């Protein structure tokens, strides 16, 4: 075969568009965020739930709505060999609600407080902070009574999460999109208002006007902006129950000193939301990155999938976006595991075997140890330690084996001393503190 032909045959693979690898360098960020979420779940009394990555596609069609972007454009749908039509999870809330019904969680203590952390898939146009596979963490309060205190509770958790991650001064936008009673009336008013401008709207908005007028507020096209400005204000049209609910949510937030900005044009992309909706943004990164935590109330969702009317409220935050903000703001996740390791080296073949045994004993004692035992020269091993940024090395040579000791060397200062093997665990723990 000539060279050209061999070249043609060579295939290289890349991760699919919009999907990405998470490399060890980013691990401290992931760990930091997951630990913060776990800690909040513990202190607020949330139990962890995991739902399947695949669900029946109909679950999302029934809940998010056939015309939502998630269902209409972004769902990864597949047909199994058995003929089921399944979808890769594009969002968590529907699956968590399905699990609540399936496991009769309404018979357990109410409300149920559930949290999650896992991957989602949306076939969107990849751009900054927008991927086709991404990870969300979220908190949902399901069941019990319809009380504004739960809306405030989930907003407080989202706020605490950002504070915990040192993302300071986030902007909270909040709105109420009413209920079954007041929303249809408002929608009609909005349609009437926009009908007068129908010919001046973009193509997408033309469709939204007919099918989902609240989504007109989501349009980013310049030609549609002037109409948004003068659109009727939903908050003026809320029924008295929704007005009271919204007022209470805001009062609870004020009580705990969480600042917010009411934005009467804030709507969310999915059909199942009612009353409170909110989004939080990193200071100065609103346009660039989009929302960090975002969520709202979804009292009607259980009904859409065969259950009873069940009050529920929650939020989800994109983990990749949180990491982007942390990096942009130079927030260093603490607990970088690489700074807390020792590096074990050997000098000579007999020492190599004994080093293999020592490695095992140290790890059993809970010490994180790196090594490059396959390298013969001690210098090459020490260079490997340096590359990993490790400051403490152990050196095991013939003499040390004979003396049942090991050399412990500070790689920054070059100072070293010999420590007896039966004291080494204690000594390393002291030095790594
Ligand atoms: P949503 O489920 O659309 O309400 O989104 C909740 C949060 O998930 C958003 O505020 C973002 O932080 C994050 N998110 C949503 N879509 C994406 C995406 N395609 N890529 C990365 N993060 C996303």
Structure tokens at 212: 């989902």
**Given pLDDT bands bounded at 50, 70 and 90, which one contains residue 22?**
very high
**Mean pLDDT over residues 3-22, rounded?**
82
Which ligand 1 atom sits nearest the alpha carbon of residue 322?
A: 12
Q: Is residue 211 part of a domain?
A: no
Angstrom distance (rounded) from CA 278 to CA 193: 25
Domain that holds residue 375: 341-432
Q: Is residue 98 part of a domain?
A: yes
Residues 266 and 348 placed together within one structural domain of the fold: no
The distance in angstroms from the start CA to the end CA of the chain is 61
| Cα 110 to ligand 1 centre (Å) | 28
Residue with tokens 């609600």: 97
Residues 157 and 262 placed together within one structural domain of the fold: yes
Q: Is residue 379 part of a domain?
A: yes
Alpha helices in 219-267 (DSSP H): 225-229, 240-255
Phi, psi for 70 (deg, rounded to 5)? -55, -45
Residues 293 and 375 placed together within one structural domain of the fold: no
Instruction: Flag the least confident range among 66-75, 284-293, 323-332, 333-342.
Output: 333-342
Parallel, antiparallel or unpaired: strands 369-371 and 342-346: parallel
| Cα 344 to ligand 1 centre (Å) | 43
- DSSP string for residues in 349-360: HHHHHHHHHHHH
Residues 295 and 371 placed together within one structural domain of the fold: no
Phi, psi for 213 (deg, rounded to 5)? -60, -30
Angstrom distance (rounded) from CA 304 to CA 92: 15
Residues 146 and 291 placed together within one structural domain of the fold: yes
Q: Take atom 20 of ligand 1 and give the residue whose Cα is closest.
A: 130
| Cα 293 to ligand 1 centre (Å) | 8
Q: Is residue 8 part of a domain?
A: no
Residues 67 and 162 placed together within one structural domain of the fold: yes
Structure tokens at 302: 């259980």
| Cα 79 to ligand 1 centre (Å) | 26
Instruction: Flag the least confident range among 172-186, 238-252, 278-292, 347-361.
Output: 278-292
Domain of residue 354, CATH code? 3.40.50.800
Residues 378 and 248 placed together within one structural domain of the fold: no
- Res 338 pLDDT > 50: no
**Given pLDDT bands bounded at 50, 70 and 90, which one contains residue 421?**
very high
Q: Which residues line ligand 1 (CB under 6 A)?
A: 91, 122, 124, 129-131, 134, 136, 291-292, 294, 316-318, 320-321
Residues 278 and 157 placed together within one structural domain of the fold: yes
Q: What is the pLDDT of residue 229?
A: 86
Number of domain units in the chain: 2
Domain of residue 291, CATH code? 3.30.930.10
Alpha helices in 24-69 (DSSP H): 27-44, 57-64, 69
Angstrom distance (rounded) from CA 137 to CA 131: 15
Q: Is residue 352 part of a domain?
A: yes
Q: Is residue 222 part of a domain?
A: no
Which ligand 1 atom sits nearest the alpha carbon of residue 279?
A: 10
| Cα 315 to ligand 1 centre (Å) | 11
Read off the pLDDT of residues 290-316 as tens digits, 9 standing for 90 and up.
899 999 999 999 999 999 999 999 999
Angstrom distance (rounded) from CA 140 to CA 113: 6
Structure tokens at 83: 């003929």
Contacts for 81 with CB less than 8 Å, ≥ 6 apart: none
Q: What is the pLDDT of residue 357?
A: 94
Which ligand 1 atom sits nearest the alpha carbon of residue 268?
A: 4
Sign of CA dihedral 123, 126, 130, 134: positive
Q: What is the pLDDT of residue 72?
A: 82
- DSSP string for residues in 193-211: HHHTTGGGS-HHHHHHHHH
Residues 76 and 151 placed together within one structural domain of the fold: yes
Q: Take atom 15 of ligand 1 and give the residue whose Cα is closest.
A: 318
What is the share, in percent, of the chain residues with pLDDT greater than 90? 80
Residues 264 and 170 placed together within one structural domain of the fold: yes
Phi, psi for 234 (deg, rounded to 5)? -60, -40
Which ligand 1 atom sits nearest the alpha carbon of residue 124?
A: 19
Residue 106 and residue 94 in contact, taking contact as beta carbons nearer than 8 Å:
no
Domain boundary among 328, 350, 377: 328
Read off the pLDDT of residues 136-181 as tens digits, 9 standing for 90 and up.
999 999 999 999 999 999 999 999 999 999 999 999 999 999 999 9
Domain boundary among 328, 353, 385: 328
Q: Is residue 196 part of a domain?
A: no
Q: pLDDT higher for 278 or 226?
A: 278
Instruction: Flag the least confident range among 228-237, 265-274, 328-337, 344-353.
Output: 328-337
Pocket test residue of 291, 292, 295, 323 for ligand 1, highest count of atoms within 8 A of CB? 291
Which ligand 1 atom sits nearest the alpha carbon of residue 131?
A: 20
Q: Is residue 32 part of a domain?
A: yes
Read off the pLDDT of residues 81-109 as tens digits, 9 standing for 90 and up.
999 999 999 999 999 999 999 999 999 99
**Given pLDDT bands bounded at 50, 70 and 90, which one contains residue 359?**
very high
Parallel, antiparallel or unpaired: strands 416-420 and 85-88: unpaired
Pocket test residue of 128, 137, 296, 321 for ligand 1, highest count of atoms within 8 A of CB? 321
Domain boundary among 269, 293, 328: 328
Residue with tokens 């690489």: 338
Angstrom distance (rounded) from CA 55 to CA 89: 7
**Mean pLDDT over residues 386-415, rounded?**
95
Residues 314 and 349 placed together within one structural domain of the fold: no
Residues 141 and 54 placed together within one structural domain of the fold: yes
């Amino acid at each position: 075969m000539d060279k050209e032909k061999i070249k043609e045959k060579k295939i290289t693979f890349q991760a699919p568009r919009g999907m990405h690898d998470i490399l060890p360098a980013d691990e401290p960020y992931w760990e930091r965020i997951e630990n913060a979420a776990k800690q909040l779940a513990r202190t607020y009394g949330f139990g962890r739930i995991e739902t399947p990555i695949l669900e029946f596609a109909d679950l999302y069609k029934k809940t998010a709505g056939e015309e939502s972007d998630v269902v209409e454009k972004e769902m990864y749908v597949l047909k199994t060999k058995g003929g089921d039509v399944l979808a890769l999870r594009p969002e968590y809330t529907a699956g968590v609600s399905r699990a609540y019904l399936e496991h009769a969680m309404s018979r357990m203590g109410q409300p149920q407080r559930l949290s999650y952390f896992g991957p989602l898939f949306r076939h969107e146009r990849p751009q900054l902070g927008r991927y086709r596979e991404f990870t969300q963490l979220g908190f949902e309060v399901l069941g019990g009574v319809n009380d504004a205190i739960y809306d405030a509770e989930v907003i407080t958790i989202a706020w605490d999460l950002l504070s915990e991650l040192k993302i300071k001064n986030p902007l909270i936008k909040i709105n109420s999109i009413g209920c079954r009673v007041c929303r249809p009336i408002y929608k009609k008013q909005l349609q009437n208002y926009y009908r007068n401008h129908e010919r001046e709207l973009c193509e997408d908005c033309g469709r939204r006007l007919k099918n989902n007028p609240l989504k007109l507020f989501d349009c980013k096209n310049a030609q549609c902006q002037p109409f948004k400005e003068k659109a009727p204000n939903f908050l003026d049209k809320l029924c008295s129950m929704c007005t009271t609910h919204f007022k209470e949510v805001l009062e609870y937030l004020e009580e705990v000193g969480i600042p917010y900005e009411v934005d009467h044009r804030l709507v969310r992309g999915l059909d199942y939301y009612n009353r409170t909706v909110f989004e939080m943004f990193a200071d100065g990164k609103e346009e660039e990155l989009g929302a960090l935590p975002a969520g709202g109330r979804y009292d009607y969702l259980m009904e859409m999938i065969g259950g009873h009317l069940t009050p529920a409220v929650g939020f989800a935050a994109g983990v990749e976006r949180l990491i982007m903000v942390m990096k942009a703001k130079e927030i260093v996740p603490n607990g970088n595991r690489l700074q807390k390791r020792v590096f074990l080296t050997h000098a000579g073949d007999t020492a190599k075997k004994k080093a293999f045994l020592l490695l095992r004993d140290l790890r059993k004692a809970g010490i994180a140890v790196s090594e490059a035992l396959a390298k013969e020269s001690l210098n090459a091993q020490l260079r490997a330690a340096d590359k990993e940024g490790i400051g403490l090395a152990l050196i095991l040579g013939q003499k040390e084996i004979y003396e049942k000791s090991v050399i412990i060397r500070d790689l920054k200062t070059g100072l070293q001393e010999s420590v007896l093997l039966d004291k080494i665990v204690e000594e390393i723990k002291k030095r790594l503190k």
